[in-house]
Every structure is written in C-alpha cells, then in structure tokens.
Amino acid sequence: MPGMRSGSLAAVGKALTIVGLVVCAAILLLGVLYQRPMVPQLLVAITLAISIIPEGLPATATIVMALGVQRMARRHALVKTLPAVETLGGVTVICSDTTGTLTLNRMTVTHVATDGGFTAGEATPVDDLGRSVADASNGETGTGIGSAAGLLLTAAALCNDASLDPDHPGEVIGDPTEGALIRFAQRFGIDHEALEDRFPRVAECPFDSERQRMTTVHRVGDGLTAYAKGSVEGLLPLCDRICGDDGTVRAMTSADRGRILALCRGMAGDAQRTLGFAMRTTDASQAGLAPGTPDACAAGPGSPVLASPDPAVLERGFVFLGVTGMIDPLRREAGEAVRSCSAAGIRTVMITGDHPLTALAIARDLGIHRPGDTVVTGADLARMDDAALDAVVGSATVFARVTPGDKLRIIDSLRRTGEVIAMTGDGVNDSPALEAADIGVAMGVAGTDVAKGAADMILLDDSFATIAVAVKEGRRVARNIQKVIQFLLAGNIAEITTLLVAAALNLAAPLSGAHILWVNLATATRHAPVRSGTLFDCGLVGRVLAQGVFVALMTTAAYWVGTGWGAGAGGHAVGQTMAFCVLAFSQLLRALNQRSTTEPVWVRAEGANPWLVAAVLCSLALTMAVLLVPALREAFGLASLTGGQWAVTAALAAMSLVQMEVAKLPGRLRGRRDAV
C-alpha cells in the first residue's frame, strides 16, 4: 500500500474544496429550479461551502506532527521538517549501513594472519601475537622488526589518519576502524605519534571507495616507504611478493593468493571484518613525486601540505604483509528493532562496504537475511542494468562491497518498484543517496556535516532502533491525521447529504446556516490518538461514506419526526432543532469512538484521553447552552423540546455509535482469526 508523501494533505484539502463547491452549487441550482426563496437558499449554500472546506485540517495536522516531532526528539531522533514526519508514516523499506547503526562502532582487532597463517588456514588471536612478535624480533617491537607481524603493526600505525584524543586518554579521534588499528599497535608497544615523528608522512593517496584502499608514503632513512591498507581483494592485484613470518620476501604465487582469499572468506564468515596490509620501498620518481618533495614536506613540525601522487604509479609492486580481523559488536537492541519492523511490514536492507560474507553473517544474526533472500555485491551491480536490478531488488536484503554510486542506484530502483525508503548515511559521498531517498537519515555522532545537511532526520545516538522508533511514531502521526480526516469528512458528508436530499425532494432545509456553522465550530476539531497506518486508503473512504450517510439518515429522520410533532412553522422549528441535536451529538459520540477502527469504544488499552474527554464535555456544554438558554435558542431559531422529543433525539444520535461499533466487528474478527 503506498505511503504518505509530502503534499498529500494539501491534495486532500483541494479535493474536498472542489467537491464541496460542486455540491453547494447543485443545492443552489435545485432551489432555483424549485423556485424556493433565493436568499435563504443562498445562505445555506454559502454556509455549507464554508463548513465543508477543512480549515481545521492544516492546523490540526500541524499540531499532530509537531507533537510527533517532540516525541521523536525524546527518543533521540531529530526530524528537521514536519513533512518528513508525514512521510515516515509510509516507510516500507529501511536501508541501513552496518557500522555504528547495527553495530556499536567499537572496532577491535581480534585476529592477525601472516604467511604462516595463510598456509595453516587460520588466523592468530591477537592475544597470542605478542609472543610471536617478540620471539621473531628478540624482544623488540615496532619498526625495525624483520617479521611480517612487526611490519604489519608498523603499517597499521603509519597508514592511518586517526589520532589519540589528548583530552580523553584512551579515546581516538577519527574513523573507528583506524582507531582500532592504533589501539592494536599500542598493545604491542608501538607509539603511534612517536612513530609518525620518526617516519614523517610525505605523500598520500587517500582512501577511495572505488579503489577500496589508502596508501601513505613515509621518509625512512634516506629512502621512501609506502604503506597501504584496504580490502584484501583490492590489495592482492597490486602485490607481486609476500613477506614470510621470518621477514624474508619471496615471490607471490597463485596458490598464495588462493590461500589468502580462502582464509579471509573464513574470517568473514565469522563476522570478522578483514583488512589487508602491504608495503614497498621506493624513491621519489618511482612514487610519482617531484624531486625534492620528501625533504620539503618533512621540514619542521606541524601539518605540511602533502603531495598527492598518481595511485596508478604508486600503488604497484607491493609486498603483501598480512591480514587483520576485526569485530564490531552488534547492538543488542538492533535485532529486536529489525523484528519489530518486519512485523509492521517494513523490510530492512543492509547496504555496506563490508565483505559479502561478513555482511551476511551480521545480517543473519540480526534477522535481516532469511532463507530465500538474495545477497548482491558491488560487482554484481556493475553487471546489472536497471531492469535487472529492479527484478532482484525486491528479494535482496544484503548489498555488500558497494560504492556511494551503487547506493544511489539501489535507492532509485527501490523507488521505481513502489517502495518508500528511509536511507542511512554518514559520509560526504552518502549525500546523493540521502537526498534521493524519501527519508534521508544521517548519523548524529559519526556523521559529517554534509550528510546531516542532506538528511531529513538525524539520529542522535546512531542506533538502528531509533529509526524503527521514528517510523513507528510516523505511523502513529499518520493514523492520527487519518482520524482527523475521517472525523471531519464524515460530519461534512452528513451535512451535505442531509441538505442535498432535502433540496432534491423540494423540502424545507432541515438545517439552517447558523446550525451548520455551530456544529462545525463546536465539534469539528475533536479526535483521539491512534496507532499505525497510512493517510488515505480505501478503508478510510468506506468508513467516511458509511458514517456520513448514516448520520445524514438519522438527521433527516429527526427532522421528519420533529415536523410531524407540530404543525406549520412550529413543526419546522422542532424538526430543525431535533436535526441539529442529532447532528451535533453524533459528532461528539464519534469523537469518543475514533480511537480504533476495530476495538469497541469502551476498550482503552492505554487509558482514557483526559484532553479528549474535556474537549467533548466543553462542546457538549456549549451546545446545551444554545438549546436551553432562551436568548441563545431564539438567536439560532431553535425550539424548546419536550421530554419525548429529547428521548427520540438521544436515541437517533446514539444510533451513530451503534453503527460504528457494528462496522468494527469484521475487522476485530479478522484480527482475532489472524492471531490464532
């Protein structure tokens, strides 16, 4: 079922205005054809035209959405615009990144694999690595170690843009993955900042999602050394040699590549995020640097302007050092949030740069991926045209090794297939996808300012569970607005039908202009809070028509009974008074019964709404004042009713409550049957 989109409220208001004006013109035309007095007929038509235009809808909807925004903010979801709340109610797919949203964003290096590990087919736990490094280096750690593990530690510390937070010892500023590498090096005695001072960076090729790696160049003695880190499948094609555990370098064979990839698949299957490391010694010309660049960049302390060599020149002829495996613990609440979304008909799709097997393991643990679902990689996307992507996007729950451009294609495909998408992102490159989604969701903790600017909603805690809460609140707001529309339209239809039938039968108007305006003024803004749903659907249309026509019948019956109670003008006044009472009291009773479309009026699972009760009592008091105070009764052209007339009026008004309860029975029975 299509969800609410921005501007749907305006479309509803415009449609109601057009319908109201057409009906009013018809009533006026019928009066002219029957040669009824023009002035009273014109006043009724104008009054009906004024009352049918839902002037209270924009204000009420704005209040409902503003209250929803407040509730979301208390649950760590900051919504930037009110139309976004409207759209949230119709979200059918949540596209989520992994790091920090489904996980805690607390990366920890747990395993390391070098040449011996590739041969054995298993990575070494980090707790055991210290002994291996010490044994290979006679107790030394850090650069200068001949072992592959020691060189890998050096690469992890130097090929790194994160830094230690001087104000909060133990915390790292920068990317959580790089922060984990700094802490990893620290565990084996490597001081990240001291190492950078000793081997200053002179050039760099920053991380790029297309290349899936970054490379830094450092001055080591009289020469240059380049260190690279990135996805293993992205690094291996650049390597022609491999470093053994004893520090010796040999040529890399196809068998070596196969063992490395097999080990990484095994680590990824255990939900570890693998990262490869490589290095090469070079000089300025081989690195693609201008002569003298290293000396100029290394002169003095501070933050020098680094050279940016061509990756195609620099990133070749590497020596492969090894692989690290990292674990990012899952958020405990994420799994429950995914299940809650699934129960509400919302599909969760993981879009990540992780290895497919890592992403699949996480998706299975969280319940995102189920038997029969599809895993699509960035390489798969590159081979698909839009038609092929549209065919698979409905069953795909994991997209792995994707680029920002891939994210945009996925969003466009989901929208083409009729989905309403909430999309998460935190980086600058995510901004196109955030803008393309129906609801862009930026990370408030780890997100960039560019991502936050492009998003419609900001997660103050970066948690997926907060997205689920926001969508639930959006659905609550949508249903509240739907109930407002149902309440307003049913009353308007009752008024229109009553007057239209009277005009068609050439009868006196059962309601005067003053009566219509008073009913709308006193009762047309009462509604009860409800949960879940979309703004305008077939069920709503059916309920509005059924309630409106039924109330019109009861109002007409009250007028007919009242006119038969008296004679001449006196009978007409009694009939109008009884019709006015039935219409007004029916509105108030329906306000109390708007809470649910299935549960009876006496069921209040969350307790009574005191504000609603107070509003209904206030409206009832005002209406009774018009009926009982002689001066007001005379001003509105109403008659004083007898006890019998009051009894008939109350019975006819109560029938609207009976009609609503009967209409709820099929839905309640279906719900019980589905729950069995």
Residues recognised as catalytic: 97
C-alpha angle 317/322/328, rounded to 5°?
130
The shares of helix, strand and coil residues in the chain, as percent rounded to the nearest 5, are 55, 15, 30
Task: Let me know: does 297 contact 304? Beta carbons within 8 Å.
Answer: yes
Q: Residues with Cβ < 8 Å from 154, sequence gap 6 or more? A: 142, 143, 145, 185, 190, 195, 227
- Distances in whole angstroms, Cα of residue 653 to Cα of each of 110, 511, 548, 580, 641: 72, 16, 13, 10, 15
CA 511 to the chain's CA centroid: 47
SS3 244: coil
- C-alpha triplet 391, 392, 396: angle, nearest 5°: 150
Within 10 angstroms of residue 635's Cβ, the number of other Cβ atoms is 11
Q: Which residue has the tokens 């068609």?
A: 504
- Asked if residue 248 lies in contact with residue 151, where contact means CB atoms within 8 angstroms, the answer is no
Q: How far apart are CA 252 and CA 239, in angstroms?
A: 8
Helices (H), ranges, 386-531 = 386-392, 404-416, 431-436, 449-454, 464-504, 513-523
**Which neighbouring-strand residues pair with 279?**
227, 319
In 311-463, where does DSSP find H-type helix? 311-314, 332-343, 356-366, 378-383, 386-392, 404-416, 431-436, 449-454
Query: Could you give phi then psi for residue 275, rounded to 5 degrees?
Result: -140, 125
For residues 153 and 229, give the distance between their C-alpha atoms in angstroms, rounded to a whole number. 11
DSSP SS3 for 20: helix
| Rounded Cα gap, residues 616 and 614, in angstroms | 5
In sequence order, what are the beta bridge partners of 225?
218, 281
The count of other CB atoms within 10 Å of the CB of residue 478 is 29
Beta strands in 554-654 (DSSP E): none
Say which residue the tokens 């736990």 belong to: 125
DSSP codes, 254-289: HHHHHHHHHHHHHHHHTTPEEEEEEEEEE-TTTTTP
Token match 């990133």: residue? 315
In angstroms, the first-to-last Cα distance of the chain is 24
Quick one: CA torsion of 275, 125, 266, 348, rounded to 10 degrees? -70
List residues bridging with 249 in a β-sheet: 243
